[in-house]
Structure 1
Amino acid sequence: MKPRAGSKALIREINEALVLDVVRTKSPVSRATITVQTGLSAASVTGITGKLINSGLLVETEIAPSTGGRPARLLELGREGVFAAGVRLSATEAHAVIVDLRGEVVAAHSEPLASTEPAEAAAAAARAVRDAAGGREPKLIGVGVAISGVVDQASGLVRHSGAMSWADIAFQELLEEVAAHPVVIDSYVNAYTRGLLFDGVFAGREMLIFSVGTSLGAAVVVEGRIQRGFNGSAGGFAHSRAITGPEPARPCHCGAEDCFETRGSLWGMQRELERLGHNRRLDPDGDSALIADAAWHLGIGMANTAKVLGPGQVVVGFAPEADLGTFAEQTKAVFVRQYDHANTPPPIFDTGIADPVALARGAACSVLAGLFTASQAG
């Protein structure tokens, strides 16, 4: 077979990614362990690690216990070689963080949005990144952005965002023009999931991740990887049809009626309050029946999805504004009850806080992930 153009560079890129990923997950680690884990020759590992040390991606740290001969120096990821930016974009602000190669947040800055016009949102995101990065900007390898809604990462399009009132916006291209850095965009829930996966705690797991806030989202994780589906729409939980009774249908911002978005999201609950004639914000005490109804729909919907996919674990990230009394506890209780007559026990069900920092950090980790998993597309 004739080698394709650039194959040597591709192999070098893949091997460097293999080495970096072993150091990320095993740090601090010896070159001998890297050799065993990657299957590369000792000479190749020595050459690759030397190059990565020179570029600041790896640093030598403590000396490993000697078993005779020259003591080996252990390796870990460098903190000053490269950085990535992450932005959590909402209708009111662009919250940016800067993370080092280990995914640790080293700086942050929030920039208000004058409007949700795509050009204004891109400009605010670029300003937030610049101010957060400061002197680190020359070392930025890219910007990740988390956006509420249906996001096609491969094409760089925001297909639909009720929170931003967007449809088919080429936001990746728009932000790259003003930020002067490569950009990766994704949904809130996928960014939140990426942050969880980057830390290695859930490596190789089969999981469902849900986000609950102004909008809803779901991510499907198979063998530790986010599954995006044929056209990037995998995890389309928010706009699936909810089970409803005889009460009036609830219109959704997507154009349909009675989506889970209308029943379980903060946006949906607020619209129902307004329909009932209440011109105020949600109150955990005064609106307990409405919140219980939202938890009922969410718990059943999440359980139905889990029964189809059979994950070992479900994680639900609640936005800080979704901290509505016992909302999270009620959702979990309804979820677990759906397995009372099932042939298998319910998966592990955990909750977390999907705050702006977690989403922005996850978006930044989407950028870093490219260093640890080389693309083999040719």
Structure 2
Amino acid sequence: MDNIVPGSFQLMKKINTGLIIDIIRLKGPISRAEIAKTLNLTPATVTNITAELINKNIIVESDLGQSTGGRKPILLKINAESYYIVSIHIGSTGIRTAILNMESKILDKITVKTRPETTYEEAIKIIKESVERLITQNEKVKGKLLGIGIAAHGIVDTEKGKIVFSPNYGWKDKDIRTDLERMFDVPAFLDRDVRAMALSESWYGAGKYVDQFISVKIGYGVGVALTNNKQQIRGYTDGFGEFGHTKIAFDGPLCSCGNRGCIETFSSEKAVERYAAELGIDADCMAVHELSLNGDERAITAINKASEYLGLAIANLINIFNPRLIVLGGDLIDINDYYFNGAVESAKKYALTDLYKVCEIKRAESKGDAIIKGAAVLVLENLFDNI
């Protein structure tokens, strides 16, 4: 019991620091008194945390506010250009690298396509060249890197900074944190891509307003994250969320994990491509999307078929967890109404009525940038651990 109370205080301080940073980012310049009132925190808590943030040059004192009878209050704002963050998303079909400022604004980004046979060494080379190019193109970043946030698909060990298994590439036990820290001489932090998306929604999106919500990231795979009181549920070995590899058939298409009948083989963007091919469309997912917008019935049929299975999967989540909110994100779900609306209707059809009607299903608000912004939050959260 002796370890619980100090840990609880540290967690609360971390959460409060994140809330204070966020309110300054959204409403700054803002006074300490207004922060305390808005967040229902004590003035002493706000004063102590903001003092440490000023000391770290994360926020700065700005103009004087309007007086209500006494001295004019000093206003606070984010020091947007004090530091910068490199954010990396290793997805199933590409590697996206970006630089963000302290207001989570993306200053520049590069996307490089990958193949299933892309080796880990090739991926590291892509990351190195992308980061170096971004720094060269943005001179003010030099010497001001706060850290690197990495979001990867598959199973990761967050504490050790290792990619345990990357199903689409076949990588196993890759110490990416150490490799990037040696390369760029700044701290690096790793998590799953769906958890990065959940972090982004928790800080900047629909998840800001609820204590608990489920995030579902749909790409070539399907991953799930459960956020509870701003914290990620991780499982015993950090493997929580491999929802795409739960089975809905004893047989079925071969999955990247080596088994058959996985949810992602029926409901993912890869499934959309397969259904389209069966109907005579030889194209990638985004091309199928474009055809659907132009009224191609084959493309619409392919997307609707995948969306029904996705809705079935979402219904299972609703029936198991009874969530208030489910956030859906991914390249196709972000932009294709057939896919999103079909999944929602299917979830309504297959979920228990009383549980479905209290659950809101939304798209990720930061859409295509959700994972990149969430990977940057990994760096900021570690900063809060040390405040």
- State TM-score, norm by structure 1: 0.82
Query: Given that residues 18 and 372 in structure 1 are in contact (C-alpha distance below 8 angstroms), is that contact kept between their aligned partners in structure 2?
Result: no
1:148 matched to 2:153:
yes
1:261 matched to 2:264:
yes
Q: Secondary structure at the match of 1:238?
A: helix
1:30 match: 31
Q: Deviation string for 1:71-100 (max 9, x for gaps)?
A: 111112211212211112246643222222
Structure 2 CA distance for aligned equivalents of residues 92 and 296 of structure 1:
24
Structure 2 CA distance for aligned equivalents of residues 12 and 336 of structure 1:
40
Give the RMSD, CA atoms, in angstroms: 3.5
Q: Secondary structure at the match of 1:62?
A: strand
- How many residues end up aligned between the 2 structures? 362
Structure 2 CA distance for aligned equivalents of residues 252 and 151 of structure 1:
19
Change (3 A) 1:249 1:25: same
Structure with the higher helix share, 1 or 2: 2
Deviation of 1:239 after TM superposition, in Å, equals 0.5
Query: Given that residues 213 and 326 in structure 2 are in contact (C-alpha distance below 8 angstroms), is that contact kept between their aligned partners in structure 1?
Result: yes
Deviation of 1:125 after TM superposition, in Å, equals 1.3
Mapping for residues 221-300 of structure 1, pairs under 5 Å = 221-243=227-249, 249-270=252-273, 280-281=282-283, 283=288, 284=292, 285-300=297-312
Q: Secondary structure at the match of 2:142?
A: helix
Q: Deviation string for 1:233-262 (max 9, x for gaps)?
A: 112211011147xxx522211121101121
2:57 match: 56
1:65 match: 66
Query: Given that residues 238 and 260 in structure 1 are in contact (C-alpha distance below 8 angstroms), is that contact kept between their aligned partners in structure 2?
Result: yes
Query: Given that residues 23 and 75 in structure 1 are in contact (C-alpha distance below 8 angstroms), is that contact kept between their aligned partners in structure 2?
Result: no
Query: Given that residues 98 and 106 in structure 1 are in contact (C-alpha distance below 8 angstroms), is that contact kept between their aligned partners in structure 2?
Result: yes
Query: Given that residues 151 and 160 in structure 1 are in contact (C-alpha distance below 8 angstroms), is that contact kept between their aligned partners in structure 2?
Result: yes
1:104 match: 105
Structure 1 residue corresponding to 2:316, chosen from 301, 304, 311: 304
Query: Given that residues 269 and 332 in structure 2 are in contact (C-alpha distance below 8 angstroms), is that contact kept between their aligned partners in structure 1?
Result: no
Q: Deviation string for 1:91-143 (max 9, x for gaps)?
A: 66432222222222222234566972212212221322232233313211111
Change (3 A) 1:171 1:268: farther
Structure 1 residue corresponding to 2:183, chosen from 178, 182, 192: 178
Query: Given that residues 348 and 356 in structure 2 are in contact (C-alpha distance below 8 angstroms), is that contact kept between their aligned partners in structure 1?
Result: no
Deviation of 1:24 after TM superposition, in Å, equals 2.6
Higher relative contact order (CA 8 A, sep 6+): 1
Deviation of 1:53 after TM superposition, in Å, equals 3.2
2:219 match: 213
Query: Given that residues 200 and 366 in structure 2 are in contact (C-alpha distance below 8 angstroms), is that contact kept between their aligned partners in structure 1?
Result: no
Structure 2 CA distance for aligned equivalents of residues 15 and 220 of structure 1:
21
Change (3 A) 1:200 1:299: closer
Query: Given that residues 111 and 127 in structure 1 are in contact (C-alpha distance below 8 angstroms), is that contact kept between their aligned partners in structure 2?
Result: no
1:128 matched to 2:162:
no
Structure 1 CA distance for aligned equivalents of residues 224 and 23 of structure 2:
26
2:384 match: 372
Structure 2 CA distance for aligned equivalents of residues 162 and 20 of structure 1:
33
Change (3 A) 1:40 1:374: farther
Query: Given that residues 198 and 374 in structure 2 are in contact (C-alpha distance below 8 angstroms), is that contact kept between their aligned partners in structure 1?
Result: yes
Structure 2 CA distance for aligned equivalents of residues 249 and 277 of structure 1:
18
Deviation of 1:271 after TM superposition, in Å, equals 5.1
In structure 2, list runs of 5 or more residues that go unmatched.
none
Change (3 A) 1:20 1:287: closer
Q: Deviation string for 1:12-35 (max 9, x for gaps)?
A: 999698556424325433234567
Change (3 A) 1:253 1:289: same
Identity between Structure 1 and Structure 2 (%):
21
Greater shift in the superposed pair: 206-215 or 82-91: 82-91
Structure 2 residue corresponding to 1:314, chosen from 326, 329, 334: 326
Q: Deviation string for 1:185-217 (max 9, x for gaps)?
A: 222211111111122652343111111112211
Deviation of 1:363 after TM superposition, in Å, equals 0.9
- Quick one: which amino acid aligns to residue 20 of structure 2? V
Query: Given that residues 130 and 137 in structure 1 are in contact (C-alpha distance below 8 angstroms), is that contact kept between their aligned partners in structure 2?
Result: no
Structure 1 CA distance for aligned equivalents of residues 77 and 206 of structure 2:
18
Mapping for residues 347-358 of structure 1, pairs under 5 Å = 347-352=359-364, 357-358=369-370
Query: Given that residues 242 and 297 in structure 1 are in contact (C-alpha distance below 8 angstroms), is that contact kept between their aligned partners in structure 2?
Result: no
- Quick one: which amino acid aligns to residue 310 of structure 1? N
1:202 matched to 2:207:
yes
1:337 match: 349
Structure 1 CA distance for aligned equivalents of residues 130 and 97 of structure 2:
6
Structure 2 CA distance for aligned equivalents of residues 109 and 318 of structure 1:
18
- Quick one: which amino acid aligns to residue 130 of structure 1? E
Deviation of 1:347 after TM superposition, in Å, equals 0.4
Q: Secondary structure at the match of 1:80?
A: coil
Structure 1 CA distance for aligned equivalents of residues 335 and 17 of structure 2:
41
Deviation of 1:334 after TM superposition, in Å, equals 0.2
Change (3 A) 1:294 1:185: same
